[in-house]
Amino acid sequence: MHTRIIAHRIGDGTVNFYGKAVWDNKKIKEFLELCSYLEIKLWRPVTSDSYGTQKIIIPTQLFEKFAKRHNKNTDRLIKDPRYLLDAISELSEEHRLQTILALIVDDGSSKSWCLTLFEDKNKETTDKVYSLWNSIFPNTARFDDKHITKSGTRVYHIYVKRDGIILLYEKIRDAVQKYGVLAGLWWKEKDLELRYLKATSIRAKQLQETKFLSAGWKENICDHVKIKGSITFREIQKILGLSKDRTRLVLKKLLEDGRIHVIRSGNRAKYSEENIDIKELQKKNNKKPYIYSRLNMQQRSQKIIESSK
């Protein structure tokens, strides 16, 4: 948990005129409680602006003890977040996890569909955070370099995917059970829990299943279309064993790719491999529909009049 304290230097941390590591944040309650629990003495927090942001000086002794134990340079640990990330990356998973939680508390968000792990203007720092995440949760996040501010500054983001959210939540739950609530995500815990519940909902599971199994479903449909020549929507739904909405999603992809074509729409929708007219298909099947033209109607009327005579 001492690593958690110094890890806050990376996100909302700076270095003041005197070379001290300073943590800037509006919500300092949990940080102060953790320092008190670890018996770390702090200088009195200072309110730095009209928005209520408060500055807390992280004791240099913490960095000195860390440097001595792991054979690192104290001054670089304080001044260079990249050097600090490299040092933490060499530690056990518990230390790396607490660092990730510190990063989310400082620069992350759980309010959108993807959890935002970290954002920064420095690409090298963001790359190292991305590597730190992958060391625990490989292939569950994506690096985004497309965000540019109004002033033209590029800001790098790391977004966590659905699987990563689930794994992170479970890791936090284990850490809290072992070390207490201060080992959690602090005031952002509720937002993550809501995102976790959505990620594990029935709808989310269905979307995930569709993502991985849709390729097989599409091939199954195409095989049946080749054999039968044409197939109805109800038949497709029965073959896949899916709901109407999920069946439509699979068919939509096949139609967009041009692998099948709609030859009759509506309640009796029908699909074929060839883009042919429904009348032509009916001729192939020896089904000659009766065409109620004006001439046919006149002939029927004449027959009725003659029979009445």
Q: Give the residue from 153, 169, 199 where a domain finishes.
A: 199
* Mean of pLDDT values over 237-253: 76
The listed range with the strongest mean pLDDT (51-55, 185-189, 237-241) is 185-189
Write down the pLDDT at residue 30.
92
Q: Can you give the CATH number for the domain in which 114 is found?
A: 3.10.28.10
Specify whether the CB–CB gap between 78 and 19 falls below 8 A.
yes
Write down the pLDDT at residue 249.
75
pLDDT at residue 171 greater than cutoff 60: yes
Among 118-122, 188-192, 256-260, the minimum mean pLDDT is found in 256-260
Task: Please provide the size of the chain in residues.
Answer: 309
Q: Give the residue from 199, 228, 263 where a domain finishes.
A: 199
Distance, in Å, from the CA atom of 184 to the CA atom of 237, rounded to the nearest integer, reads 45
Distances, alpha carbon 153 to alpha carbons 146, 159, 170, in Å? 11, 19, 36
Same domain, 72 and 170: yes
Q: Can you give the CATH number for the domain in which 226 is found?
A: 1.10.10.10
Range(s) of the domain holding residue 217: 206-294
Same domain, 194 and 276: no
Same domain, 115 and 181: yes
Q: Is 307 part of any domain?
A: no
Domains held by the chain: number: 2
Write down the pLDDT at residue 292.
47
pLDDT band at 174 (very low <50, low <70, confident <90, very high): very high
Q: Is 305 part of any domain?
A: no
pLDDT band at 304 (very low <50, low <70, confident <90, very high): low
For residue range 179-201, what is the model confidence (pLDDT) as tens digits?
A: 999 999 999 988 888 888 887 76
Q: Give the residue from 169, 199, 229 where a domain finishes.
A: 199
Distance, in Å, from the CA atom of 189 to the CA atom of 129, rounded to the nearest integer, reads 20
Paired residues of 115 in beta bridges: 160
pLDDT at residue 281 greater than cutoff 60: no
pLDDT band at 151 (very low <50, low <70, confident <90, very high): confident
What pTM did the predictor assign? Answer: 0.67
Q: Is 304 part of any domain?
A: no
Q: Is 59 part of any domain?
A: yes
Write down the pLDDT at residue 276.
64
